[in-house]
A and B are shown apart, each in its own frame.
Chain A
């Protein structure tokens, strides 16, 4: 087994004067592995990513990034080893996609150095790989959400870091783009990049055959292989809904199926009538 790219030893975090977000988190991710963090809204998935990226400092415990104590690394040294794709995307001025992408070279450039022609051609290549080379000169503010997501991924890839953190990379994407984003993550892993991502869809972890970290408020993090860790009881407890896992024999893995009451034809008919009646009353 290869050496871990990142590992944590019982880290815990609490906001100043606030409640504890998580305690005693232990996880290890190696080159080419994916870790999907699952948890309900507000359970601290983003906070955990922020700790792993050095933006927040955990109160206790130790994080090792490529064999170095995270606290001993400078911002730049962290950025050479770890790329972070945040959730909120705002660009205030109209940078072109290429100019935005090339910003990912920042950790490789000393103060006062501007990106060189080879940095720009690397950016052009990366955009080409992601299939958005035609957008190179388009302003960031005028491309679609899915394209912006790809541009962000291109920017993070430019860092050439062995680990990439992604906060809900499938957020705001249509179904096709979600699938393409997952495929992209698989491709990154095939190139030996380790990925830690958050998601609201447990199926993502199952599809990617990844490891999962399940964050529940007030309970220790559950960490393990998706196939072994995710069971109906855990998922139902996690999302406070009845969720069943159905095995797809031809694909060799499970899918999550939520329990929704099937509305009888008659009852929808009733409902429709009720609605129409109300509408008519209002008209009169």
Chain B
């Protein structure tokens, strides 16, 4: 049966993407100004994480670079990339619009404002993260609140409210930048709004991991049901789906993913828009396959981008600059590819 073959080929595809993600992870840990061979990286990880004790063929400096310098930022890139891509895929499905990205409800603008205010107040990095999370949450609450004022429960009012809130918070962000002193505050704000995983500590990653894993788990478990949200609302209801509850659940989970991602490494554009499209090209629109594929692709993509960010030039390039350049090209390619198929 052709559907059986399709099923098996999609399982194979997901496995291949998982292997690709692992390989990218090894490359990201090895590549850099202090280059470490992949087999050494692998042995260092095996030595640290498993009871196996391979014969030590690496130096302490190598282990230090892999475990303390590169591992936190690579893990952060993996986590944030997959969170943003998953969140984007879910948003596109729920809002039935392929041009939607996870910052639709203003979560990114809100987080930027929160972080900027914390930077202006010269608070520590943990406080900046908390402020970003709070700002993102506040912006989404504003969007939902404003859409309620329209007294019409539909996706469009939510989109409209999101646009209004994003515009408002972007103005506040501009005000913060205008008021910031140009020596240390302004560069910090700008660096933050362009996103980076530099100077990441394992503790930072660990702080958001539980929330990201929980939201990811809920979305992956309900991924077939998210398909039903792409039907006409009444049609989904006659299939026994509580559309309002399911939509609220998925939007909350997707927003938690984005907010957590943005709070640890600043706003990173394009991943949430472009990766689901790439995924759809590989697996089709069925969220049973699209959501896990987007997760794996997003993580792989951001690990690659981070590797480029720290190797292209002598100083770090903010992630959004690279995701923007790569993303724009990739997007055109995808559009051309999809049109050819029509």
Contacts and interface: CB of A to CB of B under 8 A. Distances in A.
A114 B235 contact: no
Nearest to B2: A137
Nearest to B93: A93
A75 B242 contact: yes
B288 interface: yes
Contacts of B93: 93
A124 B3 CA distance: 9
A90 B233 CA distance: 11
Contact of B231 (A83, A98, A103, A120): A103
Interface string B148-175: 0000000000000000000000000000
Interface string A17-50: 0000000000000000000000000000000001
A107 B240 contact: yes
B239 A159 contact: yes
A91 B98 CA distance: 13
A129 B106 CA distance: 48
Interface stretch (B62-70, B119-127, B219-227, B313-321): B219-227
A22 to B, nearest CB: 19
B182 interface: no
A137 B6 contact: yes
A165 to B, nearest CB: 8
Interface in B231-288: 231-232, 234-235, 237-242, 280, 284-286, 288
B89 to A, nearest CB: 11
Given A92-B230, A93-B230, A115 B239 contact: no
Contacts of B225: 106, 111-112
Contacts of B238: 53, 55, 78-79, 82-84, 86
Interface in A71-117: 74-80, 82-84, 86, 88, 90-96, 98-99, 103-104, 106-107, 109, 111-115
A126 B202 CA distance: 53
A136 interface: yes
Interface centre among B3, B96, B98, B221 (most CB of A within 10 A): B3
B235 A115 contact: no
A113 B240 CA distance: 14
A120 B239 CA distance: 17
Contacts of B224: 109, 113-115
A120 B222 CA distance: 18
Contacts of B286: 95-96, 99
Contacts of A90: 232
A80 B230 contact: no
B284 to A, nearest CB: 7
Contacts of A136: 2-3
Nearest to B97: A92
Given A124-B1, A136-B2, A91 B239 contact: no
B2 A75 contact: no
A95 B96 contact: no
Given A50-B234, A111-B225, A98 B3 contact: yes
B227 A95 contact: yes
B228 interface: yes
Contacts of A92: 96-97, 230
A103 B221 contact: no
Contacts of B3: 98, 120, 124, 136-137
Interface string A243-260: 000000000000000000
Interface centre among B228, B237, B242 (most CB of A within 10 A): B237
Nearest to B235: A86
B173 to A, nearest CB: 32
A106 B234 contact: no
Contacts of A84: 234-235, 238
Given A75-B241, A92-B97, A95-B286, A103 B222 contact: no
A82 B238 CA distance: 8
Contacts of A98: 3
Contacts of A99: 227, 284-286
Nearest to A103: B228
Contact of B221 (A77, A83, A112): A112
B240 A76 contact: yes
A114 B240 contact: no
B285 A94 contact: yes
Nearest to A55: B234
Contact of A78 (B1, B231, B240): B240
B239 A106 contact: yes
Interface in B67-98: 93, 96-98
Interface centre among B231, B232, B242 (most CB of A within 10 A): B231
A112 B232 CA distance: 21
Contact of B234 (A86, A93, A120, A159): A86
B230 A91 contact: yes
Interface of B: 1-3, 6, 93, 96-98, 221-225, 227-228, 230-232, 234-235, 237-242, 280, 284-286, 288
Interface of A: 50, 53, 55, 74-80, 82-84, 86, 88, 90-96, 98-99, 103-104, 106-107, 109, 111-115, 120, 124, 136-137, 159
Given A86-B235, A92-B97, 14 more contacts: A50-B234, A55-B237, A75-B241, A77-B240, A84-B234, A84-B235, A88-B232, A92-B230, A106-B241, A113-B224, A114-B223, A114-B224, A120-B3, A124-B1
Closest 8 A-B residue pairs measured CB to CB?
Answer: A79-B240, A93-B285, A76-B240, A107-B240, A84-B238, A92-B96, A114-B224, A106-B239
14 contacts: A50-B234, A55-B237, A76-B240, A79-B240, A84-B238, A93-B96, A96-B284, A99-B227, A103-B227, A103-B231, A106-B228, A107-B239, A109-B224, A137-B3
